[in-house]
Structures are given as structure tokens and as C-alpha cells.
Chains A and B, each alone.
Chain A
Amino acid sequence: MLVRYLSQIGKYFLMLKEVFKKPTKWAVMKGLIFKEIDDLIIDSLGIVAFISFFVGGVVSIQTALNLTNPLIPKQLIGFATRQSIILEFAPTFISIIMAGKMGSFITSSIGTMRVTEQIDALEVMGVNSLNYLVFPKIIASLLYPFLIGIAMFLGILGGWIAGVYGGFVSSNEFITGLQTEFIPFHIKYAFIKTIVFALLLATIPSFHGYYMKGGALEVGKASTISFVWTSVVIILANYILTQLLLT
């Protein structure tokens, strides 16, 4: 079992090495990158905006409802919303959601290409199929922090609207809470995590799609396995990065 996991990890890193070998012609690659930006980033905007806005609102309400002690200032609602959204929700939990949305799209699209021999067709033509398929996804994933930036903004906005219009906190108190003990490094920390997660989101599902074997049923299975592993690795990376950067 352990040997199998180690062998898979080794295979993953060998895949990464292959991705950067023999690049595809820039004229072709340019189009592929724009297509991936559209498929992976632009197409995810709606769901990310929706989830962030409402989760931000829920965080704000939950915090307000748990503030039973009158000695605790209402500003804490803004403070807790900011910390939850910026430190964990936007970078980590949106990434877990994206492991489902973006990851299963990547695994199933590459897996289908494997099953229908399209990857063999690329290889036979002399195309470095890993560079052709995975490299544009890695480049597109560099725009992922913008998605997370939007998630941060909308999450806090959702918290503010839910808090203020729900009658839990005044706008001034919420904004004062947002500004309280603000540590700029937390933003840096969140975006460092985001970049690491983006690379994991682009490469782990690609690995599962590229090396899958079987037919249509296995494409579905590979997507599920890919989601599980991407989530596990994101959570582990989150723990390691938090240890390294915040302690």
C-alpha cells in the first residue's frame, strides 16, 4: 500500500517534469491558455461569488448569535468575519469546492481524451501531450488568486450586509471590527496558500485524468478519486503552510 502511494507520488513528480519539456508552439499554446482561463477561472466566477457572499453572511450571523456576553463588543462580528474569510474560507474552502468543480472538469476532460485515444493521437503526432494538456492549466491557475480575491471581497460584503441589514451590528461597528488588529501579512499568507492550492488544483486532477485506464465508468471513478486526493493534499498543504508561515 505504502509502496503504491510512494510510486504514485513519484509518478506525479515525473509528470510535472515532463510537462515542462518540449513546449508546444507559442501560437498554439496562447489559444490553449486563453481557453483554460475561460474554462477554469471565468466559468468558476459565478459559483465562487454565490458561495462566498452567502457564507460570509452566515459567518456574520453565527458570530452575532453567539455573542451573548454584553462585555464583548459588536465589532467582533466584523473582526471574526474578516479573519474567517481571509484566513480560511476564501483560500482553503473555496479551493476544496474548486477541487470538485474545476478538478472534476479537468480529470473528466483529460480522462475522456485518454479513453477515446485522443492522447495517443497527440503522442503519435509527436506532440508532448503533457505539455499540451497540462501546461496551459498551470498557467491559467496563476489567475486563481484573482478568484480568491473576489471571494474575500464578496465574503466580507456578504457578512456586512447580513450583519447590518439583519440588525445584528451597525455598519460603523462592523467596519471598525474589520479594521481592528489588521495584520497585512495575513493577506500575503492567504495568497501564498492560494498559489500553492492553484498549482495543486491544476496538476493533481490532470494526473488522475492522464494516467487513468479503462472506459467511461473509470472516467467517473477517476474524477471522484481526483476530488478526494486534491482535497486531502490541499488540507495537508494548508496545515503545513500555516505551521510554516504563522507560527
Chain B
Amino acid sequence: MIAVSNIEKSFGEFKVLKGITTTFETGKTNLIIGQSGSGKTVLLKSLLGIFTPEQGTISFDGRIYSELSDDDKRTLRTEIGMVFQGSALFDSMTVEENIGFPLKMFSNKNISEIQDRVNVVINRVNLINANKKKPSEISGGMQKRVAIARAIVNNPKYLFCDEPNSGLDPKTAIVIDYLIQEITQEYNITTVINTHDMNSVMEIGEKIVFLKEGILAWEGTKKEIFKTDNEAIVDFVYSSNLFKKIRKAQNKEGF
């Protein structure tokens, strides 16, 4: 479990995060949602240690990040898998070299053991005939699969995903969402997904944290979203006419 307590982060005079307190639960897909500029990327990057909050603490299963030594921080980072918005695959490496990279860097496995583990995760994310290809030679959906495979190859305890289905067609986006959810449950990891895709929210939002202008405006599950009267989240989720109609229909049916 990741516990965030009263974190604040500013850039110059502008305070982006204004005292966020929440928890991200193990074995669940935790979603951070909010409008552009609401602070979700800053929150995610603070969780990753890329940004240092001015105030508050972030604790990974009891280990408070700001109190760890540099070595302990690096050890903690080896327990983290990250799927970046643009996949962030290494251009100069093949698909299997990308996936095997964390093992090559941090494990004592020999080449054949690394290859075996790479093959396991390649099969797990259903990557077919792409092992020897470079990232530029495969589709966006496949790149996401490679990024997920690379993130889980070292058996992480924590998986972070920054808009994992951005730039993908709706069908592939759902496939990627479900893949992340299945992996979260299968490996019992704490997954935090930063998204503004409402399909993801409705499909895999086991815990949803909604940010508005740097404050935590609402948190709950995907089922609770339908019932809540919180104006901020209702305004965000049902911003499109289609979703407004769906909500109206749900209210009539007494969802």
C-alpha cells in the first residue's frame, strides 16, 4: 500500500498540489483522474520520486520515501515498474532487450535465465513475433505491451502507469486496461494509473482519486461515481452529452 499524507508541491509561486492525503491499495487498480492541470502528473511524479514535495510524506508499505537513504531509495526504485505515456522504450534496443533491461541492470541472473524470464513476460502480455524488432518497427499498442512487460519483468511491488492508453484506439485501449488490471491482481501489486480516459475509469477503476486544482476533490470506486452527488466529480465525469444521458437513464432505473 502507498500512503500519501498531506503532500504539497509548488513550482515557483504556483502551488500545484495542496495537501493531498490518500492511500493506494495493494492488489487494486488505483486511478488518479482530473482535468489537465489538476496536478495528477505532479502527484504521480512525486510518488515516483522524480519531484520532491515541499511538505507531507509518501510511504511505501511503511517506508517513508523522504526518510530513506540514497541507497534505500534506489533499492525501492527497483521495486517499481513504470509505464510511461509515450512508452519510453529505448530506441537503440530490440523489444526483448528493452524488456530484459531491468534484469540485466539489477539481477544476478545469467543470460539464459534473463531470456527465460523475458519470454515468460512476453507471453504474458501477448506479444507475438516482435522479439527482435526495434520499438519504431511496432505499433503503438504493441509498444504499450512492451512497456508493461518491461515494467513487470522484475516482479515489482508497485506499478505506475501514466495515461497507458493515450493515443490508442478504443478497442486496444480497453485491452491494455484489462491487461494492467489482470497483472495487478495476478502479481498482487499496488497499481497507480494516471488517466483522464473515462472508459478506463468505468472499466478498471477499483479506487479512484479525483483531483481538482491541486486538491483531492473526491475518492471512491467506479460504482460510487454513479451514486455520488459531489458536484466536482459529476461535472468532470458527465461532461459529455453522452455521459449526461447515461447518468439520466441510470438515475431513472435507480442504479
A residues near B, CB below 8 A? 22, 24-25, 27-28, 35, 112-113, 116-118, 120-121, 123-127
Q: Report the count of interface residues on B (CB-CB < 8 A).
A: 24
Contact check, B88 vs A121: say whether CB atoms are below 8 A apart: yes
Contacts of A120 in B (CB 8 A): 50, 84, 88
- The distance in angstroms between the C-alpha atoms of A112 and B49, with both chains bound, is 22
Contacts of B48 in A (CB 8 A): 124
B161 to chain A, nearest CB (A): 12
Contacts of B75 in A (CB 8 A): 126
Chain B CB within 10 A, most for which of A22, A118, A121: A121
- Not counting A118-B90, A126-B80, A127-B105, a sample of 20 additional A-B residue pairs whose C-beta atoms are within 8 angstroms of each other reads A25-B104, A27-B104, A112-B91, A116-B88, A116-B91, A117-B85, A117-B88, A118-B88, A118-B89, A118-B91, A121-B88, A121-B90, A123-B50, A123-B77, A124-B160, A125-B102, A125-B105, A125-B106, A126-B74, A126-B78
Q: Mark B37-74, 1 if CB is under 8 A from A, else 0.
A: 00000000000111000000000000000000000001
Query: When A126-B106, A127-B105 are in contact, do A121 and B74 touch as well, CB less than 8 Å?
Result: no
Instruction: Provide 17 A-B residue pairs closer than 8 Å at the C-beta atoms, listed in order of the A residue.
Output: A22-B74, A24-B105, A25-B105, A117-B85, A118-B89, A118-B90, A120-B84, A121-B88, A124-B49, A124-B50, A124-B77, A124-B82, A125-B102, A125-B106, A126-B77, A126-B78, A126-B105
Contacts of A125 in B (CB 8 A): 77-78, 80, 82, 101-102, 105-106
Contact check, A117 vs B84: say whether CB atoms are below 8 A apart: yes
Q: Any chain A CB within 8 A of the CB of B220?
A: no
Q: Any chain A CB within 8 A of the CB of B19?
A: no
Q: Any chain A CB within 8 A of the CB of B140?
A: no
A18 to chain B, nearest CB (A): 12
B70 to chain A, nearest CB (A): 8
B144 to chain A, nearest CB (A): 14
Partner of A121, one of B82, B92, B106: B82
A-B pairs, 9 with minimum CB distance: A126-B77, A117-B88, A121-B88, A126-B74, A124-B82, A117-B84, A126-B78, A118-B88, A124-B48
